[in-house]
Structure 1
Amino acid sequence: MAKPQASNKLSCKVRYPMASAEVIYRYREFTPPSGETDDDLLDLPLDGARPEVHLKAAVLRTDIVRDGLLALGDILSSDLRRQASDRADYLAYLLRKGKRATQAVWEAQKTFLAAKYGEATQQETPLDPLFSVDANGIDIEVFSRDESTYARLHLKAGSAYQAASFTAGTSHLSFTPSLLQALTGIRTHRSVTLHGHSSTAGTAKTVRVPYRWLRAFGQVQAASTLPAERVHLAPVDLYNVLLSLRLRKAKTAPRALRYELVPGQTPRLVLEPWEQVLSASGSPYQGQVPQVVRTWGRQRLNLLGRLLPYAKAVDVYLLGAGLPAFYVLDMESASLTLALSGWTDSGWAGIATFDLLASGGSEDEVLAKRVVNQLTEAPLTLDALSETLRQPRQTIRQVLLQELLKGTLVHDIASGLFQHRPLLAQPLELDRLRYRDAREEQAHRLLATEDQVQLTRIHDLGLDGTAIDGEVQDRQAHRHYQTSFTLDREGRTIKASCTCHEFRRACLKQGPCPHMIALRLRYAREQAALEQARETAEGRRLIRAETRTLTRRQGETVLSYRVSLDERQILLRWGHDPQTLRQQRLLFNRAEEARDAYFARLDRLAEQGFIDASTA
């Protein structure tokens, strides 16, 4: 019987926890430039298992194309997760010396390393870079191995290259070590011809791409549609940040890059924990409200170092605490969008951060097909789509969110354009991408029933973070659990407990239990609802206890105020040193009087130039 022809397909025997999509690539062998002529031929191997994509062009900006592709290679291989140390050789040495290391310990060590880093595990791999061509230019997208960094390089047609012929479409690009080595040998004084085409004559290779990786890819895309604060920086501002991080190493928490934004003033970048202030030289902040935004994962900004000399401007899009930050480098003939995920505690904060995609998607398949067909013809913004299809803006937005999660669309945060770009040859199943694993799915099931997950106590620990206690009642299982966790100033979980059997058996060695995840989600949702409600008089009347932190910078010194409301009392703490704050306690006869005085104090501090840094 004839062997069926290879094609892209998805297969999954189990849903959790090792669910993965099976993808078949077909690449021809890469041929490096010979160097025997004055014209170097950069022949990019594209996937022959997908619809044909073809490009032949003369490179006009050799330096940007070369360094842009090398930067994408660095991002693709980036993995900042802590790798477990291989102690098998040391344990064997102790056994030979007769030391206290049993054979059972040694075998357990080898079993763990084989399961975590063995050949079977390494078969799971990220998706190869996406290579898209149209009349506007070339787009190459990569997502890092640790699922924390996304990048999209756009090469403008007629500026970065001049196309002689092309076939529009999307394929995969094989980023082999030989390709990266050939890129390092390209010089600007030699002309370069870019030739990319797919071939069915290549050898087929099957890989398994984890659904969690595909889910994270779509979630970062959907997060780019959220409202964001736009900050204009000069390239030298980002260079100063990278230089400071290179010269110093933080040994204590917090390790954030903090943006202090005051309307009409240039942004201030503060490196923690040294409180080193770097005043930006870009344009003044155009927002309406002063605020402080704390971002994490600043070491990943080093990935921009290769392209920073070509940048004419840098735009930073800050989505808020716990959400991604997008860095857009404008290089005139090209642009690079770097998205850094906001989570610092990957299992917990990531769940709370990207909860926006867990519900609310549109089920109108007819409208979804109309949207995709419209974007196949030309990229459009949300408003343009709403006007063209004559549908409400919110309805179109829900369709776009669903298609972004499925991988059929891509969003450019700088221009606001949505564009058709299939992640795989066949659409992904939305149900497999909705939750990270079975625990998160169970947590959302608990939250779906009203009053099953309750917050009982939120205690501000000052510099030590915040302690959250709650109760989870699983009516389906007829069980009741007491759950609590503590977040430090970086948003990481430093202490947690639950009365369930799963936690008592393994603690946090296998990650948070569903009840902890549900309580964390409830806390994140109520905090978001509280921030919206406190802007109205009706919402303020519901607030009986909270703490706000306000800061004002005068040169190199910072004066901070911590104002706490607790029923009938107000606690004021202020000073320049967080360790030695002065205190004042005010008592009132009624809780309403304390609340009015509390908000009056906050309004008075805002008039004096203090910035609310509570959610930073």
Structure 2
Amino acid sequence: MNLDLKYLGRSGVVDVPGGSALSFQPNLARPQVFFDQELKHPLRFREAISALHEVVVGDLRIKKKDKSAYEAWKAEEARQEDELRRAVLDQEKKAELAKLSREPIPPNLKADFQKMHRLYWDARVRWANELSRNDPELFRALVPCDPVVTVAPDVVFFECFAKDESSYGCLFVDRDAFSGKAEAATGTTNVDYSLALYEHFQTLRTYRPTRLQVDPTGFEVKVQGHASYREEKIDLPPTWLRGFGQLQAAMGLPARRVELSVDAVYSLLTYLKRHREKTGPRSLRFQLRPGAPASVVLEPWGVTVQSRGKAYDGPAQEDIKVWGRRRLMVLARLLPLAERVEVQLLGSGLPSIWTVHMGEMRMVLALSGWTANDWTGGASLELLAGDARPDARAVELLTQRLREVQRATLAELASHVSAPREALLGSLHLLAKQGQVVYDFAAQSYRWRQVMPVALSESVLGPEPEEVVQGRRLYQEQKVKLLREESLSGARRVIVAKVAEMECEALFDLDGGLSRAKCGCAHFRRVGLRAGPCRHLLALRLNVLRGASGFDMGLPGPAGRVFQ
């Protein structure tokens, strides 16, 4: 998808009478959005926006060992060899071209092209990584998209997506964080962002008044021909767009809400900073017990960190594992400001969402299930949406209502849109995937926010994962045959079934969530539940959610165990 970015000048910290101004240049290709008001606590904002920067540049993908010296030696050897062949190079090239002109198109031309194309893109990635280390200014042109800023009636918030597409950050700043009269036009826009802007953030001080500006003057001057006017056209990769939409949809899904004390998060980060694991598992295991604060086990060391926060109020005791924990290091600068930390757990191996409350600010960090598994892969998030399908009329009414009020809770939307709960949730899920709304955990409400000037269409986002499509087909064709049900403690059930000649079994919790499973298909043997359930488990879950099994999700049963 091509995106036009038009900026008047560059973002940065500029001197103004009586202090400084943190000025963000908005995208002039989008509707007018501006904001200008003085920050009450510049130092607190500096630390929060710096943490958001760490998300922007975050890339924890495995990096190969530096072999530059060896490669230089090989290049020199190759150069000497080329000199020996230079005398016959032109002659051989002419002979080969003459030969090709007399022959038909080779049958393997497409395969050879794809092989060479892969070599080209691998070289391009290496070149981009080299630029990011040695030439940040030139690398700026390779950043997929500038951060998004939204000016709402009650907050100003910044959103960004990590370079490796596995992390999302959002910094909410309440209007109470500002003093003086506000000059603002609500809306959403991209803002010019460069790696050098991070250095400007570090110059903010408490003794120097600082204003936050989304510069309004850029919309009032004739930008054509202006010396500082810049226009960029970038081609956004489908994975970036689909990932941004997927994570917004995930943020509105049901999850286990856990509160961690600040000292517990500090202990987690400190231990990870001082120790490097050499074997697996490399997970954080949340031990959730109703009526008691959560505890977190650092694996493989078996170190337990006990939280002193609010007691967990979930329906049953359970253990949930999440991976990619080193990405939590971006929260380190926020701990001195933090009052409490909330974690939303979607399930083992699934995304987790961390919210740091800092008085007038809050930072949301959403992590995909694995560092190497971005938000676009697998059917995990599609499964969590269950069988809730969007309704065209509900989508239209929700769009109109959220455009009008900017923010609304689910109950307020339900009273305005007369639609079944499943259709309402499915429609909100679709709007989030299309980049039209964002879920605010602190306010527990949906906000109207267009990440792009237009809704992200299915052709841009790409089709649903194949396992989801096939799983829904198996369910609709009634290919699910239940073999056995067994009750466990905590209102959990194990169900064994045969789905299209494939036997599988799954452990369901009180809410119909699938935490453990087995299946004999090739997809499950290859990736298990890490990339989402296979089509057979998905069909079984849809069957359970629809109540076709006669399975009552609310009745606890005797203790038992099937999984070893």
Does residue 215 of structure 1 match 2:224? no
Measure the CA separation in 1 of the matches of 2:525 and 2:395: 41
Do the aligned partners of 1:224 and 1:411 also contact (CA within 8 Å) in 2? Answer: yes
The answer for the alignment partner of 1:237 in structure 2 is 264
Q: How does 1:143-222 map to 2 (within 5 A)?
A: 143-197=161-215, 199=218, 201=223, 202-222=229-249
- Displacement of 1:59 in angstroms is 0.6
Do the aligned partners of 2:368 and 2:375 also contact (CA within 8 Å) in 1? Answer: no
Q: For each residue in 1:468-511, what CA deviation from the matched residue of structure 2 results, as whole angstroms up to 9, or x when unmatched? A: 533xxxxxxxxxxx7772458xx669xxxxxxxxxxxxxxxxxx
The answer for the alignment partner of 2:369 in structure 1 is 342
Do the aligned partners of 2:36 and 2:211 also contact (CA within 8 Å) in 1? Answer: yes
Does residue 26 of structure 1 match 2:3? no
- C-alpha change, 1:55 and 1:441, in structure 2 (3 Å) is same
Q: How does 1:254-269 map to 2 (within 5 A)?
A: 254-269=281-296
Q: For each residue in 1:291-345, what CA deviation from the matched residue of structure 2 results, as whole angstroms up to 9, or x when unmatched? A: 1111111111111111111111111111112321111111111111111111466
- C-alpha change, 1:442 and 1:156, in structure 2 (3 Å) is closer
% same residue: 25
Measure the CA separation in 1 of the matches of 2:76 and 2:244: 48
Measure the CA separation in 2 of the matches of 1:532 and 1:369: 27
SS of the residue aligned with 2:333?
A: coil
- C-alpha change, 1:468 and 1:145, in structure 2 (3 Å) is same
Q: For each residue in 1:128-181, what CA deviation from the matched residue of structure 2 results, as whole angstroms up to 9, or x when unmatched? A: 211111220201111111111111111110234555311111111122123221
Do the aligned partners of 1:257 and 1:269 also contact (CA within 8 Å) in 2? Answer: yes
- C-alpha change, 1:344 and 1:527, in structure 2 (3 Å) is farther
- Displacement of 1:373 in angstroms is 1.7
Does residue 485 of structure 1 match 2:525? yes
Do the aligned partners of 1:230 and 1:316 also contact (CA within 8 Å) in 2? Answer: yes
The answer for the alignment partner of 2:146 in structure 1 is 128
The answer for the alignment partner of 2:102 in structure 1 is none
Q: Of 368, 385, 392, which aligns to 2:395?
A: 368
Higher relative contact order (CA 8 A, sep 6+): 2
- Displacement of 1:34 in angstroms is 5.1
- C-alpha change, 1:91 and 1:453, in structure 2 (3 Å) is farther
Does residue 521 of structure 1 match 2:539? no
Q: For each residue in 1:338-385, what CA deviation from the matched residue of structure 2 results, as whole angstroms up to 9, or x when unmatched? A: 111114662899413122469754251x43232112112221111111
Measure the CA separation in 1 of the matches of 2:467 and 2:368: 24
Does residue 387 of structure 1 match 2:415? yes
Q: Of 7, 11, 32, which aligns to 1:52?
A: 32
Q: How does 1:521-560 map to 2 (within 5 A)?
A: 521-525=534-538, 528=541
The answer for the alignment partner of 2:560 in structure 1 is 602
Do the aligned partners of 1:345 and 1:492 also contact (CA within 8 Å) in 2? Answer: no
Does residue 417 of structure 1 match 2:445? yes
Do the aligned partners of 1:41 and 1:195 also contact (CA within 8 Å) in 2? Answer: yes
Q: Which letter does structure 2 place at the counterpart of 1:215?
A: R
Do the aligned partners of 1:58 and 1:192 also contact (CA within 8 Å) in 2? Answer: yes
Where does the alignment leave 5 or more consecutive residues of structure 1 unmatched? Answer: 1-20, 460-464, 471-481, 494-516, 541-598, 604-611
Does residue 253 of structure 1 match 2:211? no
Measure the CA separation in 1 of the matches of 2:409 and 2:155: 18
Measure the CA separation in 1 of the matches of 2:282 and 2:265: 17
Do the aligned partners of 2:169 and 2:364 also contact (CA within 8 Å) in 1? Answer: yes
Q: Of 56, 60, 67, which aligns to 1:80?
A: 60
SS of the residue aligned with 1:305?
A: helix
Do the aligned partners of 2:14 and 2:22 also contact (CA within 8 Å) in 1? Answer: no
Measure the CA separation in 1 of the matches of 2:41 and 2:504: 59
Do the aligned partners of 1:344 and 1:492 also contact (CA within 8 Å) in 2? Answer: no
Q: How does 1:234-313 map to 2 (within 5 A)?
A: 234-313=261-340
The answer for the alignment partner of 1:396 in structure 2 is 424
Do the aligned partners of 1:79 and 1:145 also contact (CA within 8 Å) in 2? Answer: yes
Measure the CA separation in 1 of the matches of 2:544 and 2:285: 20
SS of the residue aligned with 1:24?
A: strand
- C-alpha change, 1:535 and 1:293, in structure 2 (3 Å) is farther
Q: Which letter does structure 2 place at the counterpart of 1:419?
A: R
- C-alpha change, 1:444 and 1:316, in structure 2 (3 Å) is same
Q: Which letter does structure 1 place at the counterpart of 2:335?
A: L
Measure the CA separation in 2 of the matches of 1:524 and 1:231: 27
- Displacement of 1:89 in angstroms is 6.0
- C-alpha change, 1:163 and 1:157, in structure 2 (3 Å) is farther
Measure the CA separation in 1 of the matches of 2:279 and 2:58: 24
- C-alpha change, 1:359 and 1:227, in structure 2 (3 Å) is closer
SS of the residue aligned with 1:255?
A: coil
The answer for the alignment partner of 1:329 in structure 2 is 356
Do the aligned partners of 1:405 and 1:430 also contact (CA within 8 Å) in 2? Answer: no
Measure the CA separation in 2 of the matches of 1:168 and 1:277: 46
Do the aligned partners of 1:155 and 1:161 also contact (CA within 8 Å) in 2? Answer: no
Do the aligned partners of 1:139 and 1:153 also contact (CA within 8 Å) in 2? Answer: yes
Do the aligned partners of 1:125 and 1:207 also contact (CA within 8 Å) in 2? Answer: no
The answer for the alignment partner of 2:158 in structure 1 is 140
Aligned residues: 477
- C-alpha change, 1:483 and 1:361, in structure 2 (3 Å) is closer
The answer for the alignment partner of 2:123 in structure 1 is 114
**TM-score normalized by structure 2?**
0.75
Q: Of 20, 27, 30, which aligns to 1:40?
A: 20
SS of the residue aligned with 1:219?
A: helix
Q: Which letter does structure 1 place at the counterpart of 2:156?
A: I
Measure the CA separation in 1 of the matches of 2:145 and 2:208: 32
- Displacement of 1:28 in angstroms is 1.9
- C-alpha change, 1:358 and 1:211, in structure 2 (3 Å) is farther
- Displacement of 1:94 in angstroms is 4.6
Do the aligned partners of 1:59 and 1:162 also contact (CA within 8 Å) in 2? Answer: no
Where does the alignment leave 5 or more consecutive residues of structure 2 unmatched? Answer: 86-115, 132-138, 224-228, 480-498, 507-515
- C-alpha change, 1:194 and 1:268, in structure 2 (3 Å) is same
Measure the CA separation in 2 of the matches of 1:523 and 1:346: 22
The answer for the alignment partner of 2:434 in structure 1 is 406
